[in-house]
Structure 1
Amino acid sequence: MTRPAGWLRRFFGASGQTEVAPALAAHRRAQQGRDTRACLGELDFVAVDTELTGFDPRRHALVSIGAVRLRGLDICPGETFYTLVRPEGEVPRDSSLIHRLTASGLAAAPAESEALARFLQFLGPAVMVGHHVHLDMGFLHAASRRHLGGDLAAPCIDTLRLAMVFEEKRLVASGGCGDAQSLDYGLPALCRRYGLPVFPAHDARSDALAAAYLFVYLARKCARGRPLTLSGLWRAGRMWWG
């Protein structure tokens, strides 16, 4: 079937490029011009967590997004973000048992496009932080492609990877012969190990706050009392960088 030229322009624009929604365009502008040589104390970070209907971004969906802002390595507890997300498909019972969010409870929640646009406005120019963050980013990117016309632009620091490198280096420094890979790298387990606050698991807002505490702890350990830049932290932790 031949489609009118207007249909093509609506989805791809006059230049043949995918049309980007205003929320994504604003996000990309906010992310421009970051100096990776800046010290961590001069930067904003946003710790993020999501709850999901499953683990495959192609078949499953977001059901909540939680985030907390950090200025430098100081958590801003009064600057948090939380939204439920109304998925287009079903919410499997096994996922509801984990995060306690059901289809009926999400019926009045914002649609995925609205929830994502609100999150991007909160994010602003900040660098994103999360635990096992490539899972969250897979869903955020997929939602952004569906509704906003492309991927997000914010770089992401994975506290899971940073913790693994920290434990490996600590093991070598202590002359130990154990296996750092065998440790429990779940977010609650790491917070308990390092004496950090422990919050209820599988709640996007609480998990984002726990990831923020973990990030501050590990970043300070990597700095070892010296100024540390964003690029230096990335190199120190072999981070996943979006």
Structure 2
Amino acid sequence: MGLFDRLLRRTGAAQTPEALAPALLAHQAAQAGRDARALLDACAFVAVDTELTGFDPRRHALVSIGAVRLSGLSILPGASFSSLVRPPGAVPRDASLVHGLTASGLGDAPEEAAVLAAFLDFVGDAILVGHHIDLDMGFLNAASRRSLGGPLVAPCIDTLRLAMAFEEKRLVAGGRAGEAESLDYSLPALCRRYGLPEFAAHDARADALAAAYLFVFLARKCGRGRPLTLDGLWRAGRTWWR
């Protein structure tokens, strides 16, 4: 596995075209031909966040998807996506207490197939970015398999891993390596630590915007003022993946 692929995990798998919905076929076509040597400033990114009925993609479901588009390392004002999703079953009370969404309130929301198709159209050729993105992709892929015939193929960058790599390097350089594991790596805590804008928690679009700001901050730190490629982004954070 190459350096680029180790940072940009491809979550998709080969599928027969006949089994895929048109929205997923269009998504695959838009994502084809990625160049690991491309400069970050020449790439499109979409920061994404989801709200859920629980944490197990086999038993729980999406209730909201929020996303924000970036051109290179610039967040595009007004270029955002937000939609509620009607879940196939109940919304547990403990989940509702977190994000405020209930089954009755989601009764008129669009079904996941329609939301996913619209989300993939918004993503286009972009690389996905998220904080602890494995969780979001687990649910997005499970829903896409159910509704569209297969998983997403967009590569993903995890701001949680980038933050851990950045903090490890910073603390090692300062002779305080042991402090890295005790830091709070939650999205709100990192935004406060780095002086980034803070938004309402547990709102998918707001959390996606926070993740976008965090990604821009960390990518610029990795570049140290120099142009950075996708492959270079992995190299800059290589201590985390050693």
TM over 0.5: yes
Match of 1:145 in 2: 145
Match of 2:12 in 1: none
How do 1:92-131 residues align onto structure 2 when only pairs under 5 Å count? Answer: 92-131=92-131
Q: CA deviation at 1:223?
A: 0.3
Greater shift, 176-185 or 214-223, is seen at 176-185
The TM-score, its normalising length taken from structure 2, stands at 0.90
Greater shift, 15-24 or 200-209, is seen at 15-24
Q: Secondary structure at the match of 1:76?
A: strand
How do 1:126-205 residues align onto structure 2 when only pairs under 5 Å count? Answer: 126-205=126-205
Match of 2:8 in 1: none
Q: CA deviation at 1:238?
A: 5.2
CA distance in structure 2 between the aligned counterparts of 1:112 and 1:204, rounded to whole angstroms = 15
For structure 2, the 5+ residue unaligned runs are 1-14
Match of 1:226 in 2: 226
CA distance in structure 2 between the aligned counterparts of 1:24 and 1:234, rounded to whole angstroms = 27
Q: Secondary structure at the match of 2:178?
A: coil
Match of 2:60 in 1: 60
For structure 1, the 5+ residue unaligned runs are 1-14
CA distance in structure 2 between the aligned counterparts of 1:79 and 1:16, rounded to whole angstroms = 32
Q: CA deviation at 1:77?
A: 2.2
Closer, same or farther in 2 for the Cα pair 1:224/1:23, shift >3 Å? same
For residues 80-107 of structure 1, give each alpha carbon's deviation from its aligned partner in whole angstroms, at most 9, with x where no partner exists. 0000000001000000000000111100
Q: Secondary structure at the match of 1:178?
A: helix
Closer, same or farther in 2 for the Cα pair 1:116/1:238, shift >3 Å? farther
Q: Which has the larger radius of gyration?
A: 1
Match of 1:44 in 2: 44
Matched, 1:22 2:29: no
Alpha carbons 1:49, 1:130 under 8 Å: kept: yes
Q: Secondary structure at the match of 2:102?
A: coil
Match of 1:216 in 2: 216
Closer, same or farther in 2 for the Cα pair 1:220/1:16, shift >3 Å? closer
Q: CA deviation at 1:177?
A: 4.5
Q: CA deviation at 1:198?
A: 0.6
CA distance in structure 2 between the aligned counterparts of 1:16 and 1:26, rounded to whole angstroms = 14
Q: Secondary structure at the match of 1:91?
A: coil
Q: Secondary structure at the match of 2:19?
A: coil
Q: CA deviation at 1:235?
A: 3.3
CA distance in structure 2 between the aligned counterparts of 1:234 and 1:134, rounded to whole angstroms = 17
Q: Which has the higher contact order (CA 8 A, sep 6+)?
A: 2
Q: Secondary structure at the match of 1:47?
A: strand
RMSD of Structure 2 on Structure 1 (CA): 1.7
Alpha carbons 1:85, 1:115 under 8 Å: kept: yes
Q: CA deviation at 1:138?
A: 0.2
The TM-score, its normalising length taken from structure 1, stands at 0.90
For residues 26-55 of structure 1, give each alpha carbon's deviation from its aligned partner in whole angstroms, at most 9, with x where no partner exists. 000000012110100000000000000000
